[in-house]
Structure 1
Amino acid sequence: MSSEQRKAFPFSEFEPKWQDVWEAKKAFRTPNPGDADFDASKPKYFVLDMFPYPSGAGLHVGHPEGYTATDIIGRFKKMSGFNVLHPMGWDAFGLPAEQYAIKTGTHPRVTTEKNVANFTKQLKSLGFAYDWDREVNTTDPGYFKWTQWIFLKLYNSYVGDDGKAHPISELEAKGLSREEIDSRRLAYVSSAPVNWCPELGTVLANEEVVDGKSEVGGFPVERRPMRQWMLRITAYAQRLIDELDGLDWPESIKLLQRNWIGRSEGAEVKFKVAGSEETITVFTTRPDTLFGATYMVLAPEHRLVDSLVSEEQGTAVEQYREKASRKSDLERTELAKEKSGVFTGAYAINPVNGEQIPIWIADYVLMGYGTGAIMAVPAHDERDFEFAQKFSLPINIVVIDEIVPGRGAIGKGEWLEKALVGEGFAVCSPIASIPGGVDINGLPTPEAKKKIAAWLEEKGLGKGTVNFKLRDWLFSRQRYWGEPFPIVWEDGSHRCIPESELPLMPPDLADFKPTGTPEPPLSKATEWVKYSATATRELNTMPQWAGSCWYYLRYCDAKNCERFVGEAAEKYWMGGGKPGGVDLYVGGTEHAVLHLLYARFWHKVLFDLGYVSTPEPFQRLVNQGLILGEDGQKMSKSRGNVVNPDDVVRDYGADALRLYEMFMGPLEQVKPWSMKGVEGVYRFLARVWRLVMEVDDEGVWSVSAALQDVPANKQLTKALHETIKKCGEDIEKLSFNTAISQMMVCTNAFTGAEVKPASAIVTFLKVLSPFAPHLAEELNARIASKFPALAVQGLLSDAEWPKYDPAALIEDEVEIVFQVNGKLRDKARVPVQATKDEIEKIALASARVQEFMEGKPPKKIIVVPGKLVNIVV
């Protein structure tokens, strides 16, 4: 940036000044119900950013995009008479901070505090109107006390027959045993197959594993059973689907959520194991294809594998299971991968025809989905088809596209080139009839499903049911840097600590590195571990998701020491009923599934238990698009295309950065960065500056002599009121780029006026204020120094949003083009209501028209009202 560009306007002098003024005056402090300055007559608007993880790298230019969008609408709503809640905080627990601490030997609390301080400085340098009195940090004991408290609510709750959470005390009152109660808790203990990373020394969630390696560090991950805390999110699966309908979210995000939950209607079917009393239950969405089941597949981790495997197959099965343990769920279920498996040596009996079918194990079947066992119908399932082809297993067609008279059952269809996965008509006469069997021949698929499901239930062989792909939430981590569980163990049983002992602080460990074994780092704090002479503390910590599940609620009442959120504050800010919730939630698509799903689950539990007043946390959701580097690639250090917002603020100012990020294009679109684009909006802001200010030969700025206490003419008034109207509408629609375009048009109109009407410019600055708050505040103050009665006294951000005058938008004049012999010679503005004769007289009176008529009388005059006059001579 050249020195001349730096002189365009002195942003570096006034931007920090106004940031200091806003902070000193607590300009954006938002009172709560019960505060002396709370105005209950105002409507509320809760606008929320997905709070950042404060990494050591600091902000990049992608962060301010969403933050600027919420800041604009928050400032706009405040000026429009709303009580606005616009807070900021830090999602500061988690694996990245711990790994950095391990590498550097610095305690994660030290690095986290340093990173938070840097992020705070950067955000304040951009002039965001946050209520910093409501700042939260998930690592603050005053915050994670309530994270632990919510966990205790989950621990002490169960889901009743009504599908809602109830206190566990109801089960205790019924006299249920401890084992029965523990089996129904929303927070429970399970020995589940998990992703274990020996190098990181912790369990990883599925989303933290990429191609069988840890997302952080790229270390090998293996599957192994371990004792873990789980949250019973599956009990809310149907509600999590159904209650999406009333939300103002992008349909693509709703679809992602529905697919992740994965509701399937079908039937559970019981297969007896040949020569045994054991049964294997499978879930299938196509019970009508039971007659085509030619083998069965178990997940390698299935509990029956050890008892089923024959002596001859023992070694092969053990070797296969060991290999499968080193694969992630994603690798195991990848459709393109070659199928693998091993025969156990055992057989199951197909309940509909009595046939024995071989039992295999294969890693494409997951223990975490359904029952961990499937009936394989290779003629009508692509994965089963590929498996059957590889291992030369029978393929029997039992569903066809249309009924062919006399065709009946097809039998063994080795000729089949690919699986027939669609619906059709059943052709499945039993190969071996059984007493009281079922015949679904000729029925279309929907009817065949119902008939066979009813038969299975009647015979005690199964039942129609609904299954979900969603698994219970694995809630344990073998890390130091996380919330300790408020749980102790004694005599092999767990119990919660009293709420009076919260927050449960983590021990201040000097050695917080993983142990390299499943024993968590907290085990090193031997004194802390001892809760009593006979009881020890839980050694796992909660995942990073825990603190981010409910932070929006803490913002409502961040300083409350008696409750996680005050009742009056929660009811006011969250809406107190349907639809309720955060009015606008803005963030990236990387949290499209898990964060939103987990937050909705916790919120619904709190709602059921009466702690919150709305069934959903976020009413409106918007995902901002990714900002790419100037090379069109995703920004990364390795590509060298990362843009530091601090550099942009230094060279062009915070307002220019804010304005450019909104001017790049629609908020939701992916957009490449362009420094030329930054320069363009910088020049626009300089033009706004020069509407009010002028500079002398010494480089000293003062209020321009052209700025006067005069009314705006009709053209300027119309341009101003068009801008008020369009910008207000565009902000509501989050169409910030088109609002900025309109402000540019208006600025050009004022720039072209010889005399600048001060009062009209102050009105324009009110519209500009949410977008470029520093410049707007500074120019209003400069105008106030010369015309006190015309400017806003105090902060411009406290002013009311101007109302447009519909009458000012009505066009009472129109520009008419004057032609002589079809060539443009002049133009003039004439009244809209002017008659043809009046327009003709105005055209003939034009000196330019007379010049080109050369004194000749007109042969013909053509008048097109509102457009042109053509004089033929």
Structure 2
Amino acid sequence: MEERYPFAAVEEKWQQRWAAEGLYHVDDFDSRPKYYCLEMFPYPSGRLHMGHVRNYAIGDVVARFKTMQGYAVLHPMGWDAFGLPAENAAIKHGVHPRDWTWDNIAFMRRQLKELGLSYDWRREIATCHPGYYRWTQWLFLQFYHRGLAYKKKAPVNWCPSCATVLANEQVVGGACERCKTPVTRRELEQWFLKITAYAERLLKDLEKLSGWPEKVKIMQANWIGRSEGALVHFPVVGREEKVSVFTTRPDTLYGVTYMVLAPEHPLVSKLATPERREAVGAFVARARSMSELSRTAGEAEKEGLFTGAYCKNPLTGEEIPVYIANYVLMEYGTGAVMAVPAHDQRDFEFAKKYGLPIRVVIQPPGRELDAATMAEAYVDEGVMVNSGPFSGMPNRDGMRAVTAYLEEKGWGRHQVNYRLRDWLISRQRYWGAPIPIVYCDKCGIVPVREQDLPVLLPYAVAFKPTGESPLKDCPEFVHTACPQCGGPAKRETDTMDTFICSSWYYFRYTSPREESGPWDRAKVDRWLPVDQYIGGVEHAILHLLYSRFFTKFLYDIGLVGCEEPFTNLLTQGMVLKDGAKMSKSKGNIVSPEEIMAKFGADTTRLFILFAAPPERDLEWSDQGVEGCARFLNRVWRLFNTLLPEIQGAPVPGANLVGVNRELQRLTHLTVKKVTEDVERFNFNTAVSAIMELVNGIYQFCDRVPPVDRDPGVLREAVEKLLILLAPFAPHISEELWARLGYTESVHRQSWPTYRPDLLLQDQVEIAVQINGRVRGRIVVPAAATAAEIETAALEEPRIRQWLTGKTVAKVVTVPGKLVNIVVR
């Protein structure tokens, strides 16, 4: 028997055997209760990183644990395979995106298998496969037929480096979330999905997600951004038009001293007076070229221009000037703002800069504001002043009262608004699912017929960094026949945002080869919702919100039976090295391949799970990896030493005593702790408990001669150790289990149970203090009373020596812990 764990030979042996036996295959209608365990699928970039390893190791422990608890576990894997990196690689290296992607998938699939992950590979999917994106296109048509997919001209976020449009959620800090290039604005005809139609349900149903981290629910709620207020109509002086404004502060309407329109507002060109038209046009052009962040950031300079037009305040009849300003965006609210500089900081700064009036209409309790001396806007609660019949009213009450008055007069109404915007899904790139729409001079916009799907991506295209889809220069793709009239037509050349593909993939895993529809309804009803979803918190807004939207839509049209896709969510932390996230640019990458080649998959997995709780960031430690390798070698040596003694040993007796009972008790305590810790995802403390059991077995063998050992107790300890270790280090556990003589996999064993009666201690060791200093220890029955413990302490010979010549003033006893004897 080898002295060290021969991980390379053992891991290869069992990976091949598991695959040949279909160990991780699960039948859709298995009689056991179902459990759907899913990790977010990766983009096939070509190499796994340690973040991947952490995500998949966590999911694998959960899947194996639930299987051993008696569940039929669905644990699939696939590839989020469309996206910009593949196309950028084509431009840079002359490699076709399809070839680049499939080569990467093959490499990463091999890496995942080398980790010994318990995936049912029969269910593997790739979103770039025509058999998958056929149904992505079909789902787009379901949105289109119900009026939830539409095309409009709109200002969009443009990444000049990626040469494509980005959704608002893909812009982080004013830059592209993928390449960090500052984002600019363009106006283009784009396709949208009407996610705003689901805003209230997406917000309200967060209450149902009790198994989600609170921080993720808060992030989604803030992104949806529900706000209540009033829609107020301000007539334009001398014209028929009105400027409509949504405000959350109708209580400040008497303080409006000017109006501000977004440069993109459709009324701007109409309201600009002849003498100001040229200057207004130049300002609009300049503002449109700026990114959203550069226009709205708190520290950004507020710039504006008077249009020459005036609006009338419906409550006061006062004529107020209409400006345009860079800090107002058309996408938020109505694209118009009623400026109340005394009670809004941006309006205050703008008014100060351009010499506009400031009127106080909310006074704080206990002091009086003077507009002439205010250094900043007052934004807190108070009493309404200078507000006609509402003066003297608490402003909170005033909000409702003013809104009711507006409704009574026909000047406005109560309204709920959302920060959430419709989902922009058009991408001017090749490597994505083609949008199944054609344009006919006679029929207009026409959807592709469902029986004609998929609209296939052509292989022969030219990749140029032009900012337009390469599909535009592919005539065999562009030119087609109209599905409606049969005449000549042109295909849509934009492709879909890759988040469309990942918004429904968890349904496809249930029926990955289904051809009559996107999935088999009976199988979806069997497996969905996902019981445990695992992935990075960086997807809290994009992927998770989009997936919830998709699921609610599919529920509404009768395609699925659940309204929420993921019952429980675990968001794991990042893997850091030297305090920073691992990245090529920082030069702090640790390759999973190198670690597995040096230490093996079991060690790699064990360290990732042991080094930190899953929800926290994990600091990489070479010493920690080496420590986990040493631990597995200790397990290996312990087993080899004990095998002759425990092989064929009988079941341990029911009424053991002494050291044998102590080891049995430690074994059952460990089963209890590991079970509870895994259920709570405290994998690090579960591994620690397993390590303590190994230490306990070693200590038992060191201090108890073979003649006094109960071999059944040792066998029970070793067998339970291997089963507990199996989800964390599956290869070594499987090998040692087989060497015990078992023919059925350790991963098909039932999760061990513990005997509650064995958790109770017969005896406890108690520290004895004299005047607060420990002077000795006593061993007493666990059930001993305080009086019995006190007597035992006072009669202990070593303690009596310390009491000679002294008077005992008081004895304080804490049963099970300590005795403190106070003397003088």
TM-score (ref. length: structure 2): 0.90
| Partner residue in 2 for 1:54 | 44
1:309/1:317 contact within 8 Å kept = yes
In the alignment, is residue 441 of structure 1 matched against residue 391 of structure 2?
yes
Are 1:604 and 2:552 matched, yes or no? yes
Corresponding residue of 1:291? 254
Q: What is the CA–CA distance in structure 1 between the aligned matches of 2:757 and 2:764, rounded to whole Å?
A: 16
1:283 counterpart letter in structure 2: F
Residue in structure 1 matching 2:718, options 761, 772, 787: 761
Structure 1 Cα separation of the partners of residues 69 and 752 of structure 2: 9
Counterpart residue number, 1:718: 665
Aligned to 1:87: 76
SS in 2 for 1:244: helix
Contact 1:211 1:331 in 2 (8 A): no
Q: State the distance in 2 between where 1:823 and 1:333 align.
A: 65
Tell me what 2:634 maps to.
687
Answer yes or no: is 1:811 the counterpart of 2:761: yes
2:282 maps to a residue whose letter is Q
The structure-2 alpha-carbon separation of the partners of 1:495 and 1:835, relative to structure 1 and needing over 3 Å to count, comes to: closer
Q: Amino acid of the residue matched to residue 290 of structure 1?
A: L
Q: Please tell me the residue identity of whatever aligns with 1:297.
A: V
Say if 2:169 and 2:541, in contact at 8 Å, map to a contact too.
Answer: no
- CA 1:810–1:298 in structure 2 vs 1: closer, same or farther (change >3 Å)? same
Q: Residue 503 of structure 1 aligns with which residue?
A: 454
> Equivalent residue for 2:655?
none
1:125 correspondence with 2:114:
yes
Letter in 2 for 1:531: T
Within 5 Å, which residues of 2 pair with 1:102-251?
A: 102-157=91-146, 185-197=147-159, 200-209=162-171, 214-216=176-178, 221-247=183-209, 248-251=211-214
Q: Is the 8 A contact 2:440 2:489 kept in 1?
A: yes
Q: Shift in Å at residue 341 of structure 1?
A: 1.2
Check whether the contact 1:403–1:442 (CA below 8 A) recurs between aligned residues: no
3-state SS, counterpart of residue 343 of structure 1: strand
Aligned residue pairs, count: 791
Aligned-pair distance for 1:25? 1.1
Offset of residue 279 of structure 1: 1.1
- Contact preservation (8 Å) 2:461, 2:474: no
- Which residue does the alignment assign to 1:543? 497
Return closer, same or farther for 1:669/1:427 CA change in 2, 3 Å cut-off. Answer: same
| Distance change >3 Å, CA 570–CA 211, structure 1 → 2 | closer
Shift of 1:741: 1.1
CA distance in 2 between counterparts of 1:402 and 1:819 reads: 60
Picking from 678, 686, 690, the partner of 1:731 is 678
Aligned amino acid, residue 237 of structure 1: A
Distance 1:583 1:749, change over 3 A: same
What's the counterpart of residue 727 of structure 2? 770
Whether 1:16 aligns to 2:12 is yes
Q: What CA deviation, in whole Å up to 9, does each residue of 1:595-651 have, x standing for no partner?
A: 11111111100001111101111111111111110x112212222211111111111
Offset of residue 834 of structure 1: 7.8
Within 5 Å, give how 1:360-439 maps onto structure 2: 360-402=323-365, 413-430=371-388, 439=389
Alignment of 1:620 onto 2:568: yes
Sort the Cα spacing of 1:598 and 1:826 in 2 relative to 1 into closer, same or farther, 3 A: closer
Among residues 515, 524, 537, which one is paired with 1:570 in the alignment?
A: 524
CA spacing shift, 1:594–1:820, aligned 2, 3 Å: closer
Structure 2 counterpart of 1:751, from 698, 712, 728: 698
Quote the offset at 1:534 in angstroms: 2.3
Letter in 2 for 1:134: R
CA contact (8 A) 1:692 1:704 kept: no
Equivalent residue, structure 2, for 1:699: none
Distance 1:376 1:845 in 2: 85
Identity %: 49
1:337 matched to 2:333? The reply is: no
The amino acid of 1:224's aligned partner reads R
CA contact (8 A) 1:212 1:327 kept: no
Give 3-state SS (helix, strand or coil) of 2:426's partner.
Answer: coil
CA deviations on 1:548-567 (whole Å, 9 max, x unpaired) are 00111111222222221211
1:678 is paired with a residue whose SS is helix
Distance 2:818 2:376 in 1: 70
**Higher helix share goes to which structure?**
2
Residues 692 and 707 in structure 1, CA contact (< 8 A), matched pair in contact too? no
Aligned partners of 1:843 and 1:869 also within 8 Å: yes
- What is the identity, as a one-letter code, of the residue corresponding to 1:82? Y
1:845 deviation in Å? 13
The CA deviation at 1:528 is 2.0
Contact 1:663/1:736, CA 8 A, preserved across alignment: yes
1:826/1:265 CA distance change after superposition, 3 Å: closer
In 2, the alpha carbon distance for the partners of 1:833 and 1:368 equals: 71
1:356 corresponds to: 319
Normalised TM-score (structure 1): 0.85
Please point out which of 57, 61, 66 is paired with 1:68.
Answer: 57
The 8 Å contact of residues 59 and 122 in structure 1, kept in 2 or not, is answered as: yes
Per-residue CA deviations over 1:42-69 (Å, capped at 9, x if unaligned) read 221111111111113x111121112111
Contact preservation (8 Å) 2:461, 2:473 = no
2: distance between equivalents of 1:829 and 1:741? 27
> In 1, distance between residues paired with 2:38 and 2:100?
26
Aligned to 1:466: 416
The Cα offsets for residues 325-367 of structure 1, whole Å up to 9 and x where unpaired, read as: 2222122111111211111111111111111111111121111
Q: Deviations over 1:380-437 (max 9, x none)?
A: 1011111111111100001112489xx9xx8x8222111011122211245xxxxxxx
Q: Where does residue 641 of structure 1 map in the other structure? A: 588
Q: Name the stretch that deviates more: 816-825 or 218-227.
A: 816-825
Tell me how far 1:264 sits from its aligned partner.
0.8
Q: Alignment partner of 2:700: what SS?
A: coil
What is the CA-CA distance between 1:813 and the residue it aligns to? 3.0
Q: Tell me what 1:169 maps to.
A: none
The whole-number CA distance in structure 2 between the counterparts of 1:659 and 1:207 is: 35
1:494 aligns with 2:445: yes
Give the Cα–Cα distance (whole angstroms) in 2 for the partners of residues 345 and 605 of structure 1: 46
Once the two structures are TM-superposed, the CA of residue 822 in structure 1 deviates from its matched residue by 13
C-alpha change, 1:289 and 1:841, in structure 2 (3 Å) is: closer
The structure-2 alpha-carbon separation of the partners of 1:238 and 1:643, relative to structure 1 and needing over 3 Å to count, comes to same
Show CA shifts across 1:794-816 (max 9, x none): 11101111111111112123347
